[in-house]
Amino acid sequence: MIYFEDVEVGAETEFGRYDVTRDEVLDFARKYDPQPFHLSDEAAAQTHFGRLAASGWHTAAMTMAVIVRSFEKRPQAGLGSPGVDELRWLKPVFPGDTITVRGRIVEKTPSRSKPEIGTFRTETIVTNQDDVPVMRFTSIVLIRRRPAD
């Protein structure tokens, strides 16, 4: 189990990969972001995307899936997150792409009001199969401190 005390500023992690499928892009768009360029090849061809593109929110959801699945191999004493800062969609994600999610710890802070927890910030970079960054954000993570023996 990884606790606050185990988190090191500067540490980098590759969380894993995700294969983006056309069916999933369409399903997500129908449910959550039904803009024409996420639903139709013809509509997307008329935009700067040039072809069907995943919603940025879908890219964020796929990224979260990759991060959470990585906890199966490296369990954390995580307590969720109060949010993210500086979310940027840098390039479109297309069906057939494979995204890779990496993170770097940029800060950690023990809680002053709750001594049993701390926080850390992770700069997350998502790249496509050509190692081109497609999304970037900084997440704030709440995590338990190591229990006293």
CA distances from 21 to 50, 62, 110 (A): 17, 11, 40
Establish if 149 belongs to a structural domain: no
Q: How far is 148 from 126, CA to CA, in rounded Å? A: 36
* For the chain, counts of helices (H) and of strands (E): 4, 5
The tally of domains found in the chain comes to 1
Rounded Cα distance, 93 and 84, in Å:
20
CB 119 within 8 A of CB 141: yes
Task: Evaluate whether 38 touches 54 at the Cβ level (below 8 Å).
Answer: yes
User: Above 90 in pLDDT, residue 69?
Assistant: yes
Can you read off the two tokens belonging to residue 115?
């001594």
Residue 29 predicted with pLDDT over 80: yes
Owning domain of residue 70? 4-144
Is pLDDT above 80 for 149? Answer: no
Q: 1 burial class (0-12, 13-18, 19+ CB within 10 angstroms)?
A: exposed
Q: Are 137 and 147 in contact (CB under 8 A)?
A: no
* 102 within domain boundaries: yes
Q: Residue 131 maps to which CATH number?
A: 3.10.129.10
Instruction: Tell me, yes or no, whether 128 lies in a domain.
Output: yes
Res. 126 pLDDT band, cuts 50 70 90: very high
Tokens of 106: 């940029």
Residue 35 lies in a domain: yes
In a domain, 9, yes or no: yes
**pTM > 0.85:** yes
Predicted local confidence at residue 116, as pLDDT: 94
